[in-house]
Chains A and B, each alone.
Chain A
Amino acid sequence: MANPEHVMGVVGSYPLLVALWLLPLFGAILCWAFGPQLKRAAGWAATLIAFVAFGLTIASWGAGTQSLNGALGADQPLVSWMPGFHLGLLLDPLSLLWACIITGVGALIHLYSIGYMEGDSAFARFFAYMNFFLFAMLTLVLSDNFVGLLVGWGLVGLASYFLIGFWFYKPSAVAAARKAFVINVAGDVGIMFAIFLIVQKTGSISFGNAFAAADTYGPTLLLAICISLFIGAAAKSAQVPLHTWLPDAMEGPTPVSALIHAATMVTAGVYLIARCAPLWSHDGNAQLLVGTIGGVTALVGAILGMVQWDIKRILAYSTMSQIGYMIMGVGVGAYEAGVAHFFTHAFFKAQLFLGSGLIIHALANEQDVRRMGGLRKRLPFAFIAMLVGVLAICGIPGLSGSFSKDAVIQGALEHGHPWLYAVGIVTAGMTAYYMFRMLFVTFFGKYRGEVDPSELGIRHPEFAGTATHLADDGHEHHHAPAWLMNVPVAILIVPSIFAGWLLYGGANSPWHRFFDPQFGVGHFVGVPISEFTTTLVTLACVVVGILIAYLRYGTKAAREGAIERLRRESVGMSPILANAFYFDVALDALFVKTSEGLGRLVSRVLDPHVVDGAVRESTIVTQWSGALVRSFQTGLVRAYAVFLAVGIACFAAFYAFHGVH
């Protein structure tokens, strides 16, 4: 604590920043406390607040990008948390970007939700949670210290928990929420641990002090800090092997999946690593580790995405895979590329989710693509929205995804990780395959909603998705005006297509000019492969992927025999893939079963029979000796006299012995 304070931003008073941060909290309290009174107005109020927050973010642009004496952005001190530890807000380009996405995309999804959640019995509560999520996420990205970050980290986990388990009468939703929360707490704990190490070393919790001391940690401590931080990042960003909660999290309402489990919260890990770039840049081992795990996640997500039938689970695995890209990017040191992929992904993935929401909404909560088909004509707008999203995520040149994805792949190579480069390219092809597979199965061919599920190979229709009969609040019977849901999707189409162009122009692109003060100008190893070549190779892979998808699902013949084909694929799926590489089973056996087994051991064996046993035994012995004493008390005078005589004999012996000596 004796260290001089290193503050990252320009210290000052920024009321807009504070307002931006607290406004969603106010909205959450408003919707929570006065939900019954507000009714539908709650949704509008929350949406309005989200839009105002977005406006405030834009208004703070100047503060966030200012630069003074090496300090970048705005720093607003708040309170002294403990003697020597201070909390504050920090708005610099990195947090500004995140704040824009959180409030901007968040506001659109709020608007969408008004339509989607129409008629739900807990309408106001939903918006309270949504606004609370905005507040938590803003806390996460705006804190200028690790504790504030951890607070936000925990609170987004909570918001996510509430929203996954929003329909808490569904046991599957409740279980999914619990799983997500517990895994995320494991991540929180990782960050906590990093905080302990940092505080032990620097005596401070502020980013500034922690980063200023980055070169004093020494390799072991630095690696320990990075790994601890990454555990947090991995849990939140669904990196292998802590990803298993994300597919399950699709139990939540679709707007939630779009906002939390696609656009913002799950990318918090990316934010964390980008934020701690000074630490990562000092530690090659950490970069290798994180980059590798990002690559593996991208691959695993893509593989699993290829065999899913639930439209939201397809998107979930795709999210996981795309975050793998981001993590790989920021992990290897290509911060600007990783962050850029976050930026573009937020748009097109939100759009994909919202598009899928349109379908689900229209089909009365049906999520299984096997029971869809031919929706192109029935839901043309949804088709267009999905199509744009799919093209963007596949990395079709000109659309946003291609810029950022190629940047990440190229970044991996430039930072000296050719294997990750290869993984990135292969994954891009697989991405194209499973996205087009989804597209073909959903929108082409004939509608299969009336087909008996067993003919499609659906064994347990009630487990396939949000089964209709469980949603007994009957919200699907109310339909809001279509524009409420269509407008946000339409708006998102624009950045989905064009956001990537910010990266156009190499080192002079707007993106680089924006972020260079933050991350510095990268110095790369010379690579023999140019960015253009990479784009071409990737594109080739993508085309191959699309082609395979087309051949399997898109040709006329495939469309005709879709029912039989889907049944065969469903039934014949390899158990490894059906069980998602047994990650769930392994985690369950390693941690859940073990702790529960220990718990049973403790509470059924140790506690009653060993620990308490000693006490109980002594009680029994006491009572037994009570009976013993009583049994000596026969009531016979002569027996008593015998005691007397024995006592006398003992005394006499003692005194005789000592008297003689």
Chain B
Amino acid sequence: MTLPFTHVDWAAIAPLEVLAATGLLVLLLDLVLRPFAPRALSLGIAILGTIATAVMIGQQYGTNVAAFNGGYIVGNFSVLFGGVVLLGTLGALALMGRGGGDRESAGTIALLLWSACGALLLAGASTTMTVFLGIELLSLSLYCLCGLADRASAREAALKYLLLSSTASAVLLFGMALLFGASGSVSLAALATPAMVGNPLFWMGSGFFLVGIAFKLSLVPFHAWAPDVYEGAPLPITAFMTVVTKAATIAIFARFAYAALPSGASQMLLLPIWIVAGISMIVGNVGMLAQHDLKRLLGYSGIAQVGYILAALAGTTRLGLRYAFFYLAVYAVMNLGAFAVAAALSTGDAEEGAKLETYRGLGARRPLLAAAMTFFLLALAGLPPTAGFLGKILILAATAGSGYLWLAALLLVGTAISLYAYAKVIMAMYRPDHRVRTVELGTSAPLPWVSLALCLVATIAFTFYPLLPTGLFPLVK
């Protein structure tokens, strides 16, 4: 028996193979060289492997290949979303280079890479089967990653994430089953037929499918896990989750919304998502108030930011997808930047950078880091000269342009609230009268600084050279 797949198929997923192999290599080297190999070696190999993967993905730009019977489609869409996924992976790896405790082992690095593999798969997945495979690869690795720090909170995060996410996966899977029942095919493209409009199986299937997606995107009311898990997980893993999971899931959602829906039903069918996106913008931003943990705060922020991205997709216009991608990339950069600052501050055993306590009076003690943190927080709020500003205006243009004024209004309200919350952190850093708690700060490792600088440059550069992607379509074969 020969495999039904050709070299074309394997070439299409070659980047994934490289990434997975890098993970294996890291593990093996660690096994062989454990007494000698410093963790820096594992980290270096992982970073190199990720960069190599990124290069390979980059070479796929402009091609359009459907591999594995249309299960995995290589195109600008997959390349760009894959790019964001790898960006997030690189960012997380860079954070692993922080000083102090909670050091990740080679196993963690390998798991992270494999998790990224799952995310990459999602960027190109165009059948329910590949979607499920990608999501599970991504999630299963993450369950482990969350719990790998030796803290009760990390274990709790892992358990909560595991239980809730598995439930959501099951719901998603059941939705896929119903969709399969509706169309008789695992292909997403098969759903985009007018016959589906009147098919109850299709509607119910889509409903369960979207619940799963909404859970992974941590939209309200499926968001409850996110703050807890983000707070409990180690810093790099949280950064990874806020960027990579969201990017991959947005990719799936976009492909589903743009390519898998019969044109007559798509707006009604997606309406609940727009509604929960709108609610998320408010709840996420409101939830940020009165937090004491940066990871938790950014977790809430992520809830709202995903809402913004979805707002750009509302109306499923082609332009909207471009802006959504742009904002996603910008969000990834500024979010990673904020995490990088936290990592640069985490020099002891207790992840000081994750505690807002550390930021009191930081403006006087670490002016550069405080300035950088301020910059990223203002970027998240959408103030110029950051790309967050441009991203917001593009989203507004898309949302208003497709007639979802109420969503635009919620976005404005949510953004105003978000500034309130971010400004509280900034205030803690700069108000002279805030007691400076003596959280001892050691010297930072170089990697977070590099990451921070790159994010900073990118956040500004995106403002002046907005990378609005072209050639995203078609999304399915």
Q: Decide if A and B touch, CB cutoff 8 A.
A: yes
- Assuming A622-B289, A626-B287, A654-B272, is B206 touching A647 (CB within 8 A)? no
B307 to chain A, nearest CB (A): 14
Within 8 A of A (CB), among B407-430: 417, 420
Cβ A626 vs Cβ B224 within 8 A: no
Cβ B221 vs Cβ A633 within 8 A: no
Cβ B160 vs Cβ A637 within 8 A: yes
Does A581 sit within 8 A of B, measured CB to CB? Answer: no
Among A632, A635, A644, A659, the residue within 8 A (CB) of B215 is: A644
Cβ A659 vs Cβ B202 within 8 A: yes
Cβ A641 vs Cβ B286 within 8 A: no
Cβ A655 vs Cβ B283 within 8 A: no
Cβ A633 vs Cβ B420 within 8 A: no
Cβ A622 vs Cβ B167 within 8 A: no
Residue of A626, A641, A660 with most chain B CB atoms under a 10 A cut-off? A626
Interface string of A645-661 (1 = CB under 8 A from B): 01110111011101110
Cβ B160 vs Cβ A640 within 8 A: yes
Cβ A654 vs Cβ B286 within 8 A: no
Bound-state Cα–Cα, A654 to B204, Å: 9
Cβ A647 vs Cβ B221 within 8 A: yes
Which single residue of chain A is at the shortest CB-CB distance from B417?
A622
- Assuming A627-B290, A632-B224, is B167 touching A644 (CB within 8 A)? yes
Does B228 sit within 8 A of A, measured CB to CB? Answer: yes
Does A576 sit within 8 A of B, measured CB to CB? Answer: no
Residue of B211, B221, B224 with most chain A CB atoms under a 10 A cut-off? B224
Does B214 sit within 8 A of A, measured CB to CB? Answer: yes
Bound-state Cα–Cα, A639 to B222, Å: 11
Does B95 sit within 8 A of A, measured CB to CB? Answer: no
Cβ A626 vs Cβ B289 within 8 A: yes
Among A633, A641, A644, A647, the residue within 8 A (CB) of B227 is: A633
Does B397 sit within 8 A of A, measured CB to CB? Answer: no
Bound-state Cα–Cα, A292 to B177, Å: 100
Cβ B163 vs Cβ A637 within 8 A: yes
Does B325 sit within 8 A of A, measured CB to CB? Answer: no
Does A169 sit within 8 A of B, measured CB to CB? Answer: no
Among B159, B168, B287, the residue within 8 A (CB) of A644 is: B168
A438 to chain B, nearest CB (A): 66
Cβ A656 vs Cβ B420 within 8 A: no
Give the chain A neighbours of B268 by CB distance below 8 A.
658
Bound-state Cα–Cα, A651 to B168, Å: 13
Within 8 A of A (CB), among B258-316: 268-269, 271-272, 276, 283, 286-290
B256 to chain A, nearest CB (A): 14
Within 8 A of B (CB), among A602-661: 619, 622-623, 625-630, 632-633, 635, 637, 639-641, 643-644, 646-648, 650-652, 654-656, 658-660
Cβ B286 vs Cβ A648 within 8 A: no
Bound-state Cα–Cα, A623 to B289, Å: 7
Chain A interfacial residues counted at CB < 8 A: 30
Bound-state Cα–Cα, A128 to B173, Å: 93
Among B222, B271, B417, the residue within 8 A (CB) of A643 is: B222
A576 to chain B, nearest CB (A): 60
Which single residue of chain A is at the shortest CB-CB distance from B227?
A633
Cβ B164 vs Cβ A623 within 8 A: no
Bound-state Cα–Cα, A651 to B200, Å: 14
A603 to chain B, nearest CB (A): 26
Bound-state Cα–Cα, A652 to B171, Å: 11
Does B185 sit within 8 A of A, measured CB to CB? Answer: no
Give the chain A neighbours of B171 by CB distance below 8 A.
648
Bound-state Cα–Cα, A622 to B215, Å: 25
Among A619, A650, A659, the residue within 8 A (CB) of B204 is: A659
Give the chain A neighbours of B271 by CB distance below 8 A.
654
Chain B interfacial residues counted at CB < 8 A: 39
Cβ A643 vs Cβ B200 within 8 A: no
Which single residue of chain A is at the shortest CB-CB distance from B421?
A626
Bound-state Cα–Cα, A383 to B405, Å: 88
Bound-state Cα–Cα, A25 to B116, Å: 83
Among A629, A641, A654, A660, the residue within 8 A (CB) of B167 is: A641
Does B210 sit within 8 A of A, measured CB to CB? Answer: yes
Cβ A647 vs Cβ B290 within 8 A: no
Which single residue of chain B is at the shortest CB-CB distance from A656?
B204
Does B114 sit within 8 A of A, measured CB to CB? Answer: no
Bound-state Cα–Cα, A627 to B286, Å: 9
- Assuming A646-B221, A658-B203, A659-B202, is B286 touching A625 (CB within 8 A)? yes
Give the chain B neighbours of A644 by CB distance below 8 A.
164, 167-168, 215, 221-222, 224
Give the chain A neighbours of B159 by CB distance below 8 A.
637
Bound-state Cα–Cα, A648 to B209, Å: 10
Among A629, A637, A640, A643, the residue within 8 A (CB) of B286 is: A629
Give the chain A neighbours of B215 by CB distance below 8 A.
644
Does B448 sit within 8 A of A, measured CB to CB? Answer: no
Give the chain B neighbours of A633 by CB distance below 8 A.
224, 227-228, 287
Does B225 sit within 8 A of A, measured CB to CB? Answer: yes
- Assuming A626-B287, A639-B224, is B200 touching A656 (CB within 8 A)? yes
Give the chain B neighbours of A650 by CB distance below 8 A.
272
Does B75 sit within 8 A of A, measured CB to CB? Answer: no
Does B193 sit within 8 A of A, measured CB to CB? Answer: no
B172 to chain A, nearest CB (A): 11
Which single residue of chain B is at the shortest CB-CB distance from A646?
B221
Bound-state Cα–Cα, A635 to B229, Å: 10
Bound-state Cα–Cα, A618 to B357, Å: 27
Cβ A652 vs Cβ B221 within 8 A: no
Cβ A647 vs Cβ B160 within 8 A: no
Bound-state Cα–Cα, A639 to B202, Å: 30
A78 to chain B, nearest CB (A): 49
Among B164, B210, B211, the residue within 8 A (CB) of A637 is: B164
Cβ B286 vs Cβ A626 within 8 A: yes
Give the chain B neighbours of A635 by CB distance below 8 A.
228
Give the chain B neighbours of A651 by CB distance below 8 A.
207-208, 210-211, 214, 272
A653 to chain B, nearest CB (A): 9
Bound-state Cα–Cα, A646 to B160, Å: 18
Among A643, A656, A658, A660, the residue within 8 A (CB) of B224 is: A643
Within 8 A of A (CB), among B186-239: 199-204, 206-208, 210-211, 214-215, 221-222, 224-225, 227-228
Cβ B269 vs Cβ A640 within 8 A: no
Bound-state Cα–Cα, A655 to B203, Å: 5
Bound-state Cα–Cα, A622 to B272, Å: 24
Which single residue of chain A is at the shortest CB-CB distance from B228?
A635
Cβ B211 vs Cβ A648 within 8 A: yes
Cβ B290 vs Cβ A655 within 8 A: no
Give the chain B neighbours of A656 by CB distance below 8 A.
200, 203-204, 207
Bound-state Cα–Cα, A659 to B288, Å: 37
Give the chain A neighbours of B225 by CB distance below 8 A.
640
A255 to chain B, nearest CB (A): 56
Could you list 8 further interchain pairs (A-B, Cβ under 8 angstroms) beyond the known A633-B224, A637-B163?
Answer: A623-B290, A627-B290, A630-B287, A643-B221, A644-B167, A652-B207, A652-B208, A655-B272
User: What are 15 A-B interface contacts by the 8 Å CB criterion?
Assistant: A622-B420, A623-B290, A625-B286, A626-B287, A626-B289, A626-B290, A632-B224, A644-B164, A644-B222, A647-B221, A647-B222, A656-B204, A658-B269, A659-B199, A659-B202
Question: Interface on A for B, CB 8 Å cutoff?
Answer: 619, 622-623, 625-630, 632-633, 635, 637, 639-641, 643-644, 646-648, 650-652, 654-656, 658-660
What 5 pairs between A and B have smallest CB-CB spacing? A659-B203, A655-B207, A626-B289, A659-B200, A640-B224
